Amino acid sequence: MSGRKALDTSNSSILLITDWAWMHAKSGNVEEIFDESIREEGPKGVMERFVQVGILCAHVMVAFRPTIAEALKMLEGDIDIPRIRDRPLPLSHESFRSSWRRSISKER
């Protein structure tokens, strides 16, 4: 739907398509995820639903992912799609590293 590669090595700030799509979905710009060639093609509501379910299914924390049965019901419109949760900070993020350093120094 996006026309992007799953892993983009040309942009150092956002590498994974899931991070890029999540950023747009969280900010309310789901339409930005669609490739320009299909933005005007299909029903927007269905396309947005597919993107939101895909983001939920690819959540980095497995416990927050829907089951296959739930995902199918969401795709078919039989159940509501829950709001997209915040993504946890990666372990390499500076705020995580600095809080980890503080907790280690307190233990000493």
Q: The domain spanning residue 29 has which CATH number?
A: 1.10.510.10
pLDDT in tens, 24-83: 888 888 888 888 777 777 788 888 999 899 989 988 888 889 999 999 999 999 999 998
Residue 64 lies inside a defined structural domain of this protein? yes
Residues in the chain: 108
Token pair for 62: 């497995």
In the chain the beta strands, taken as DSSP E runs, fall at: none
Cα–Cα distance measured from residue 90 to residue 108, given in angstroms and rounded to the nearest whole number: 25
Say if residues 52 and 83 touch (Cβ distance below 8 Å): no
Residue 96 lies in a domain: yes
Helix, strand, or coil (residue 7) = strand
Structural domain tally of the chain? 1
Let me know if residue 77 belongs to a domain.
Answer: yes
Question: Would residue 3 count as lying in a domain?
Answer: no
Q: What pLDDT is recorded for position 21?
A: 86
Asked if the structure places residue 102 within a domain, the reply is yes
Spatial neighbors of 25 by CB under 8 A, at least 6 apart, are 33, 51, 52, 55, 84
Domain ranges, residue 92 = 17-107
Reported as a pLDDT band with limits 50, 70 and 90, residue 7 is confident
Give me the pLDDT at residue 10, please: 74
Question: pTM of the entire structure?
Answer: 0.68
* Cα of 65 vs its chain's centroid, Å: 11
Asked whether 75 and 50 are in contact (CB, 8 A), the reply is yes
